[in-house]
Structure 1
C-alpha cells in the first residue's frame, strides 16, 4: 500500500444503468451487499465481524474494507515483512498496510485529541496499534470515508493505493465477497459490454479471438492452465487464438518475441501487452501478458491472489515492456492464407 499526504481528485467513472454502450462505458453500477459464501469461507470470523462492524459504524462498504484486507495481507495471514512486526520495503505495516507516517508517526500511539493520522482505537484500549486488526480496520474505514466512500469508491480506493489496477482488483474481490443488497459497485461482466468490445474488433479473426477470451471472465487463474476451467496469463491468449484457428506459442516467454512489435498508442484489440513481472523476468524476458480489448483495457489472468480473469486497465501499470501483434507474424499470416484457400 502506498499512502501519500496529498489527495488527488479523480472524476468518478460514469454511473450508468446496466445495458448497451461503448466499450469505454462498461463500468456500470450493480448493487450488492451481505456476506457471500466466498466471504464466509475466505475471511476469518473475527476479521469478518470487524469489517462489518466498522463498515457500518463509519458508513462505508464492509466488503470493500474486506477486499483491501485480502489484497494487502490476506486478512493478516501473510507472512511477509511488516504484517505482524516491522515494516515492508515501503514502510507500511499491519494487516491493512498503513504507512507509519500516515498512522501518526509511530506504530502504537495513545489516542488523544489532535492526532495527525489515521491511528484509531478499535478495541477500546485507548491506543492505536497499527498491528491490531480492530485498530487497523477502523483506521482503513475512516480513510475510505474521508476520500469518497461509500459513493466515490474508485477515488477512495485509489487514494489507498494510487494505481487503477489496484482499484480494479479491490472492486473485483469486493464483488465476490458481497451477496445481494444495496451497495453500488462497478459491474463485473455484462453481455452488452462484451458486444461493445467485440464490435470494436478490426476484423472477423479478432472478433473470434475476443469472443473466446471475454467468455472466460470470472474463471480462476491457474499456473499452466489452458482451460476450460482455469487459465494462466498466456494460456487464455493461446486458447483464444486457437479459437480463431491460429497457432501461437503457448507461454509468455514464447509469445513475446513471436508478434510484430507495435508502438505504444498504436495497439488495437487482439494485440498483446507485456510486463516485466514475476520471478526470473526482465525487460527483455517479460513474465506477464494481457490481451488488448479496447484502448487502455486488457483482459488478463494475473495471479491466484489477484482474483479471477477480468478486464483491467494497463496504461498506468508499472513495468510495461511493450506491445506486439501476433497476427502479423509470418507463420500466422501463412495460417490465415491457407484458411482462405
Structure 2
C-alpha cells in the first residue's frame, strides 16, 4: 500500500512521540523499583510499602485498639517506627493503663505526666495548652480539639513521635530513645518490646536509609548531571551537621547541596536564603530528583524567606542536613513534614543552563 506524504509524516511523528514517552516514563519506572540485589544475591527493599511493619500476635493482644491506631497513624505521619512509639508507651505507662501518679493527672516524682510521660517542661510548661499558642516544646494537638493535652493519648503520642523524630529516629533509634530517657538500659528495654510487637521481630530502618538503596535512586535520575549531583549528596549521608559547613567532613543544609552541585561542575548560591530565589519555581507534585525543597523553619526564616532546604532524591524523599541535635545527614520524607514553602529547579536557572552548555562543549 502506498502512503501519502501527509500520512507518512503523521506516522513518523507518532513513532517519535512514542519514543519520547518511553524516554520520559522509564526513569519513573526506575523510581518505583521496590528492590535490587546485593553482591551476595540477597534482596534489599527500597520501597516505602515494603517497610510497613505488621503487628505481631503479641502486639495485637497487648496494645489497646485505640492506642495501636494512634501509634500507627502518628508513626506514619511523622516518619518514625510505630512499634518504637508503642514500645515507649508500654514501657512508660503500659499504654495508659498504669495507675501510678502522673499518668492520668498531676506528675510523678520526676515531673513527668501523661501516657507518654513527658516532663512538663518539655511539653511546653503546662499540661494543657491551646493549640494556637507558640510553645517551646512538643505540645501537640493530635485530635484537633484545639488543646494540646499531655494526658490525652492522641496528643501525647503525636508529641512523642515528634520528639523521637527530632532526636534521630527513624534512622538512629537508639540515640532518639536515649534522649527520651537518658539510660541505656531503658533503650535496650524499649527496643526489646518493639521487636516483640513487630511480626518480623525487628526494628526496621526506613527505605533509602543506607547506601544499599543508592543505586536505584541514582539510576532513576532524570539526567546524567542529576545522577552526579545525587551520587555526591548521598555519599555524605552519616556525616554530622555543622552550621556554615561545606565539607568535606560536615555540612549544613544548604552547604551539602552547594557541594553536590559543585561536584557535578555547577555553581549555585551557597546559602538557603540565596538558593530560594535562584531556581525556577516548581509546582508541588511536579518536583523531581535534583530539585530543592524549602521550609519555613530554621534561623532567620519568614513567610518568603526559608531557613531550611533539602535535596529531592525521589518522590517524597529528600537528603537533608537538618540540625546539630537532629542526627547525621540522612534521607528523610518531606511529605511527612509541615511548613513546606515550595520547590525550585536550579538546573533551569539561565546561568546554570550556560554552565551546562560549557560542560557539554568546553570549546564554547
TM-score using structure 1 length: 0.58
The size of the alignment, in residue pairs, is: 243
5 Å matches for 1:223-302? 223-302=243-322
Check the 8 A contact 2:240/2:249 in 1, yes or no: yes
5 Å matches for 1:1-341? 19-24=43-48, 27=51, 55=91, 58=94, 82-83=124-125, 90=131, 102=149, 104=151, 159-160=158-159, 166=165, 169-176=168-175, 183=195, 184-187=202-205, 189-341=209-361
Shift of 1:160: 4.7
Shift of 1:97: 5.5
> Which has a greater percent of helix?
2
Shift of 1:228: 1.7
Check the 8 A contact 1:23/1:294 in 2, yes or no: no
CA deviation profile, 1:207-262 (whole Å, cap 9, x unmatched): 11111111111222111111122111101100111111111100001111111111
Structure 1 CA distance, aligned partners of 2:317 and 2:127?
37
Structure 1 CA distance, aligned partners of 2:333 and 2:164?
6
Structure 2 CA distance, aligned partners of 1:86 and 1:52?
19
Structure 2 CA distance, aligned partners of 1:103 and 1:300?
30
Structure 2 CA distance, aligned partners of 1:52 and 1:164?
12
Check the 8 A contact 1:175/1:185 in 2, yes or no: no
Distance 1:251 1:52, change over 3 A: closer
Structure 2 CA distance, aligned partners of 1:239 and 1:19?
32
Distance 1:26 1:251, change over 3 A: farther
**Worse-matched range after superposition: 244-253 or 225-234:** 225-234
Structure 2 match to 1:65: none
Structure 1 CA distance, aligned partners of 2:280 and 2:138?
42
CA deviation profile, 1:110-168 (whole Å, cap 9, x unmatched): xxxxxxx66xxxxxxxxxxxxxxxxxxxxx9xx8xxxxxxxxxxxxx6x4567799499
CA deviation profile, 1:286-337 (whole Å, cap 9, x unmatched): 1111111111111111112222211111124222111111111111111111
Structure 1 CA distance, aligned partners of 2:233 and 2:164?
19
Structure 1 CA distance, aligned partners of 2:336 and 2:203?
22
Distance 1:93 1:210, change over 3 A: closer
Q: Give me the CA root mean square deviation.
A: 4.4
Check the 8 A contact 1:165/1:317 in 2, yes or no: no
Check the 8 A contact 1:163/1:316 in 2, yes or no: no
Structure 2 CA distance, aligned partners of 1:80 and 1:308?
23
Structure 2 CA distance, aligned partners of 1:294 and 1:191?
15
Check the 8 A contact 2:167/2:327 in 1, yes or no: no
TM-score using structure 2 length: 0.54
Shift of 1:175: 3.9
Check the 8 A contact 2:253/2:309 in 1, yes or no: yes
Check the 8 A contact 2:255/2:270 in 1, yes or no: yes
Structure 2 CA distance, aligned partners of 1:329 and 1:195?
28
The SS at the match of 1:305 is helix
Structure 2 CA distance, aligned partners of 1:267 and 1:93?
33
Distance 1:319 1:179, change over 3 A: same
